[in-house]
Structure 1
């Protein structure tokens, strides 16, 4: 009985346990079920919210997008270009702006099916199914972009790639991506899949052909790489071409010259990837895949071809480049970038340059330049007819020259080189060379006058001295030690180095000369302005002819800088102004300073180092030679560069000559350069004499301070105490021109630079003469005093006798 009761109790206990466990399970299940339902509802709600927010954000991004018509989209995706034109100042044509891509459009049935299958399998396996974009891929790409992660696929369909390539720019902003999706969807609604695929294959870039030309479209790729039409491409050839759009230049078998690359592995490996994609997508069989993969495709690449050179020259390419650059701000500002961002980043510059250039060559603009056709042609003719006077029998000495209107910065004409077909380097705008002594007026003398450090007759030491940094001697160009002081006027006129070295070292204690160059947009690093050789042209990379011409035009324009420019306006087909040059004048040097510098540089031309230019010009055109010319010569170390830049009140005309490889020229070639410059000046004067304004003179500004000074000290005349000796300041009376303060009283250390011993040397004869005169005077006075005393004693004696 007891045992029965115990069993009964155990069964009851077990039953209770089972019931409790079952109850707990049901409760837990209910809770989990409710929780799961809540999570699902929450996720659905969040998903709906996310979709709603996403759609709202998408709508916000595209709210300003003008939905294009079918015809507009057709024109854009087929790259139907409205040709832009460049014109001279008189509206005569310079030339049409054309694309540098070689392209031939073909119909769908003229393209091998292999190419179509290869492109779809590699670039967009869902092409035939989607409606312009694949949501999953797009979301993945956007998340990767937001997180800054690498995303090799990019999430772009062929349709999106077509839109991005032909309609939109290539910046990677969310707004652009949203517009890309919208327009891709639009394209899919307007055009069939075959039309989209054919268009993509007709406009996409495919690298280079066997002539080194940039090619676009499958037909040019087939002909330029394999020598066949697109419809006749074999499977391995089609796979190779289909792999090119991802990185056309990298995978291309040719260099920019049309030569075959030594290493073709990148393109061939890419071809194998494309073949595998085709096999994976069941577009080809395994047998076809293996056969095409093992095929020796390199033997199909055709040999180098000859490229017919175009007839465009320095002018065509420079005007196009400048037009592109003035359009760039429209695009980078829209993306929130500033000019500083673009100039400090090669990647950003190249990106927006490409965008602006694409706009320029497609939109039917008219680019109106400042170039006077007849003046430009005259300078080219001078190079052809008289350029041989520059050669020395060892090769072609190149030249760069610019004619600029002083009052505006307008570039009237230029000379980029001797022959564009032989040398495409534009020496007027792109070449940076040591400015040599042409640096002296704009970096040393003008700033020193501007801050009141010197006047026109102030004295500079021309005694031997050494560079502090190296201990090496500072030498004059002719290697002659003057062992004297000389005036600012004489030092500039003879282009001596030692005086300007001393001046610049003193200038650095008064101001930062870099501030003057910054105002004139001269591109030099801050460190260069501390170089001891900088006033003689010792830069890291040099100046361009444009920078130097602009600086001298600034002095000729009363110290006011107007940035040199060649693009006046850009208008669209309807005459609407897309761009107009705006002058932004900057007062770099005071008016007094500029007028004093012109007064000084007149001597350089009339009787200094620039006299050869004036005498040659007098033989060619006495009237032009009689104009008021001011300017400066320049010869770099080892005679690698010769410069001559001169101005009249109307224009500034420069000339630089040198070898591209820095081969030294003969020392007399500076004279040849000045002769050549004179021929340039005469030729252009015969075309437009009014531009030179030879009827005007450079006048001293009313603000100039005129001080009567000693020709010996450059300071005031009168008496002064030197080394304890009171004396009359030696030297003749001359007028010194100052921009500030005026002349100081004469003192022992009257000049800039020099040692105490140097001053003792130059004062010695005057001190000696003064001492002798003083001693003689004293003797005479003493003698006279003695005589007077004797006379007085005799008179007293006579009076006593009386």
Structure 2
């Protein structure tokens, strides 16, 4: 027989239901409160919403065009809604959220429809999300399918709808949604799939891009079956919702889609440069931080110059393969800022043996291309002038192992002036200058010019003047750039600006030049290295280009390295050719290996730019001197004997070069006094060249 206690369970059930309802309500309120507070900062600006989940590193060229990514970075380019074609906007709304302009972030119809489907399937398989909810899911939350995340999605969608108008929400969505093929946002999608800007998309192309949104991974290769089907589905929805006419529908369905083969739009140019920039950022911030940063870095690279340099190096190295040369490298700098405009680290990045090696930052012997550093130090310390007499004759330096330098052509020219010695790359005089300076002073000069590889002076002897020490192409080109910039050195840099994921500028590069050598010394070096007449004795016209340019070649021992480095006041270019494994080339000197590449780069980059000359600074004066001893030439009409030379004030010669007076005219027979005059000797030319103090010369 039933008792009164049998009626208790329904009472307990009601209490439990009440408690459960209160708990659920409390939990819901807590979730709403927590979500609103926790994500308040993330909703503050459109940039914070769109970019919160961005990671990795994106490199931009100097014109802000993305070309390289690391650590899974999203390649995005923002397009304002008023620049987004109407067909794209209408297509997205038609297929993804037809009630977009009437709901407040949530669509009750879609929620019930998806809830019914989920109950039927027994799991959260269907979304029913509005565009605003999709924006939240794509940019702010993870992809987990649970009721808590779904509730947070609804809360944040509602908050976004309160804060932003519909056009701004649609703009954020179109600039952040994933289209497949590593493309985020409509701009990159249009480029990745069709190789064009969004404004150039046809109706059919716009419909296709919208059609890939639900499952973009299926269309990474768009030629797969179903591509046209997705496009047609979007077109039909647009027609049903009166966004397009029947004729537009039929015409778009007939349109044949032509897909681009350029991948995700990134060129991945300058890989050695890109890796160098990445390493610099890692050194500054740490790799884990960079990997998760979402940084966008505007670099100094000029992609057009880079492309030309890459091709020029590759083409010439290909010609030199028969001479056992397999690799090349090049650096292009702006002397006034230190910005790296192009950098070819190796001839072929994809080469499995040496392709990944960045020769521009590797240690190689520069040969004679190091001589200007030695001469610059000697000029700076007033040890020599361009008119100093040096000896190009046999000599042996008494070292633990006797050292007898020889010139490249094994000739001896006797006494030569410093200008002639450097312009023609004579080895014996260069060693003489180096000995006058001393190894520590040479290393000090190199260090001031940004060459960091000579740490231990005890390792080097007189041969350091001939480039026996190892340097980096990037640093040596930077040193030459200082000569181009009137002695002011700018450390080579590859970074102009760094932006965080929210597009805040956190770093900007400003040149901070310092004087490595004086303007006077720089001018003397530039004057000699640009003297086509002076170097013609050895080089002919092989280094001459269409405008004034200072240039020096270098060849290491046994033809293991071929160098050419040169500049104008606004451009510095360094080139290397050789083998990574240090094998010998077959007689590939600097003038044959690296010089043709240098000339090609200089002529290409300087085309259409103003002609520039190297102008002497106020601390330099010009004097006519004798060609054989560098002393002041006082006799007029001495063509072929003297030339005009530059000196740092205070270093000009104090003695004069004396030429014999010209022979008197022949004596007339009718003049007795003239008949008895002594006959002149060596008529028509000087008998000898002597020297006396300038103060004793009578003009």
Aligned residue pair count: 417
* Counterpart among 590, 597, 600 of residue 676 in structure 1: 597
Name 2:587's counterpart in structure 1: 667
Superposed counterparts of 1:206-217, under 5 Å:
none
1:453-491 C-alpha deviation (Å, 9 max, x unpaired): 222222111121112212232111111122x11011111
1:601–1:655 Cα change, 3 Å: same
* Counterpart among 414, 420, 437 of residue 368 in structure 2: 437
For residue 322 of structure 2, give the secondary structure of its aligned residue in structure 1: coil
For residue 361 of structure 2, give the secondary structure of its aligned residue in structure 1: coil
1:195-247 C-alpha deviation (Å, 9 max, x unpaired): xxxxxxxxxxxxxxxxxxxxxxxxxxxxxxxxxxxxxxxxxxxxxxxxxxxxx
Deviation at 1:547, TM superposition (A): 0.8
1:639–1:666 CA contact under 8 A, matched in 2: yes
Q: Which has the higher helix share?
A: 1
Name 1:420's counterpart in structure 2: 349
Name 1:705's counterpart in structure 2: 621
Query: Partners in 2 of 1:633 and 1:95 — Cα distance?
Result: 33
For residue 502 of structure 2, give the secondary structure of its aligned residue in structure 1: coil
1:114-153 C-alpha deviation (Å, 9 max, x unpaired): xxxxxxxxxxxxxxxxxxxxxxxxxxxxxxxxxxxxxxxx
Q: CA RMSD in A?
A: 3.5
Name 2:393's counterpart in structure 1: 463
1:675-726 C-alpha deviation (Å, 9 max, x unpaired): 233233344456xx43xx4x2211122210334433332234689xxxxxxx
- Normalised by the size of structure 2, how large is the TM-score? 0.55
Give the number of the structure whose alpha-carbon radius of gyration is greater. Answer: 1
Name 1:383's counterpart in structure 2: 313
Deviation at 1:317, TM superposition (A): 5.0
Name 1:741's counterpart in structure 2: 650
Name 1:318's counterpart in structure 2: 273
Name 2:85's counterpart in structure 1: none
* Counterpart among 431, 436, 447 of residue 501 in structure 1: 431
* Counterpart among 459, 463, 483 of residue 555 in structure 1: 483
1:323–1:367 CA contact under 8 A, matched in 2: no
Query: Partners in 2 of 1:610 and 1:368 — Cα distance?
Result: 41
1:632–1:771 Cα change, 3 Å: closer
Name 1:85's counterpart in structure 2: 58
Name 1:522's counterpart in structure 2: 451
1:557–1:708 Cα change, 3 Å: same
2:272–2:358 CA contact under 8 A, matched in 1: no
Superposed counterparts of 1:141-152, under 5 Å:
none
Query: Partners in 2 of 1:595 and 1:361 — Cα distance?
Result: 46
1:449–1:593 CA contact under 8 A, matched in 2: yes
Deviation at 1:740, TM superposition (A): 4.4
1:449–1:738 CA contact under 8 A, matched in 2: no
Unaligned runs of 5+ in 1: 1-67, 74-78, 101-190, 192-310, 332-354, 616-624, 720-728, 749-767, 773-802
Query: Partners in 2 of 1:529 and 1:613 — Cα distance?
Result: 35
Name 2:612's counterpart in structure 1: 696
1:557–1:328 Cα change, 3 Å: same
1:235-268 C-alpha deviation (Å, 9 max, x unpaired): xxxxxxxxxxxxxxxxxxxxxxxxxxxxxxxxxx
Name 1:756's counterpart in structure 2: none
Superposed counterparts of 1:52-67, under 5 Å:
none
Unaligned runs of 5+ in 2: 1-36, 43-51, 74-147, 149-265, 658-685, 691-699
1:308-344 C-alpha deviation (Å, 9 max, x unpaired): xxx9867245334424424644x5xxxxxxxxxxxxx
2:434–2:442 CA contact under 8 A, matched in 1: no
* Counterpart among 536, 547, 556 of residue 607 in structure 1: 536
For residue 383 of structure 1, give the secondary structure of its aligned residue in structure 2: helix
Query: Partners in 1 of 2:430 and 2:586 — Cα distance?
Result: 25
Deviation at 1:647, TM superposition (A): 0.9
Deviation at 1:626, TM superposition (A): 2.2
Query: Partners in 1 of 2:272 and 2:346 — Cα distance?
Result: 13
2:632–2:656 CA contact under 8 A, matched in 1: no
1:745-777 C-alpha deviation (Å, 9 max, x unpaired): 4499xxxxxxxxxxxxxxxxxxx97899xxxxx
Query: Partners in 1 of 2:633 and 2:309 — Cα distance?
Result: 51
Are 1:590 and 2:514 an aligned pair? no
